[in-house]
Amino acid sequence: MSINMAALLAEAERLADSGSAGGAKKGFIDNFVKTPEKGGMVVVRLLGPAAGQDLPFIATKVHKINGRNVHCRCELSNSRWTGDCPICDYYKYLYKERDTAVRLNNTAKAESLETEARDIKGVERYYYNAVVRGKDPEDGDPNPCGQSEADGPLIFSSNQTIHKKVLRAFAGDKQAKVKAIGNVTDETTGRDLRIVKKFKPGNKWAEYDDSDWTTPAPAGTPDQVKGWKSKLHDLTTLRKVPTWDESDHELRIHLKLEEDTGPKTGFDPSKYTKVDDHVVLSEASHAVNSHVEAAPKDELLDKDSFEAAMAAIDGIK
């Protein structure tokens, strides 16, 4: 019996592209730089802006609300976030009410209001095109997350701490008495960024204060750089700004003034009933609709891809 070599090759390609159980294709999360979940170090080279862009990054704020990541409607302009975002307006209102509670010595109320405000606060994110080093260029340590230059340009999602280091590298900081070191994205004289992720005992948030720049060096060979520049991600597509009504709807859901009509997955766990410690299929489950609705416009990408990316990339808040 002859062997179907075409079928074997197709199966090999399927497994090579598998990113999860069942042989699913790699998801959008694989376009992002990963850092060790429990702390560690990776080295990246931030790349310059794509054609038609004058900055190597795009900025956004994301509200975590109703279990979704919703982009803030405010725009970063002249170092200030400005715009008409109902979620931001409510966030400010909560802090004003908190201040009133403090003046009235109502500590419990003040703490409750502050907690609610923090839960919906817009978290700043900055997206860069970057190349990940498979090994530390100075000590040769391998990348703990398995990514390398062969992955091509990836998206580095930065928090304020790392972003400030980038800006200081370009422009310096007179107040902090930090001198500029130049264009770190330059393909010939730029520098790699060694991202150091640490957790202090009892603190669930990672710290990146020890991150620093390596010595100046070319980003790669001329052919590597040419290939990377031809495959830069269009960072502007990452920020999906909701309409005012969409943001208002999310806020009203949060306040339990409206029903959450978010996307359904097609699987309804309520149709499964647990009896005597055994899970049995109810009659209604036979009518499960396998249709998956499109993600709402107010999310960065589809809900699952974006939330997985935000959780797995670096956990920075």
What confidence tens digit (pLDDT) does each residue in 98-125 have? 999 999 999 999 999 999 999 999 999 9
Answer whether residue 155 shows pLDDT above 70. yes
pTM: 0.72
Residues 13 and 44 in one domain: no
Residues 220 and 121 in one domain: yes
Q: Could you tell me which residues come within 8 angstroms of residue 173 by beta carbon, excluding any fewer than 6 positions away?
A: none
Q: What is the mean pLDDT of residues 202-231?
A: 92
User: Other C-beta atoms within 10 Å of 17: how many?
Assistant: 11
Cβ pair 130, 191 in contact under 8 A: no
Residues 15 and 138 in one domain: no
Residues 152 and 25 in one domain: no
pLDDT band at 152 (very low <50, low <70, confident <90, very high): confident
Number of independent structural domains in the chain: 2
| pLDDT tens digit sequence for 234-252 | 999 999 999 999 999 999 9
Residues 102 and 237 in one domain: yes
Domain CATH for 142: 3.90.198.10
Q: Domain span at residue 79?
A: 32-263+300-312
11 falls within a domain: yes
Residues 38 and 18 in one domain: no
Report which DSSP code applies to 213.
Answer: E
- Pull the structure tokens for residue 100: 């009133």
* pLDDT computed for residue 191 by the predictor: 96
* pLDDT computed for residue 139 by the predictor: 82
* pLDDT computed for residue 17 by the predictor: 52
Q: State the angle between helix axes of 86-103 and 244-254 in degrees (0 to 180), rounded to the nearest 10.
A: 40
Altogether, the residues listed in the chain come to a count of 317
| Of the candidates 201, 118, 208, 114, the residue with the CA atom closest to the CA atom of residue 160 | 208
Distance CA 5, CA 146 (A): 31
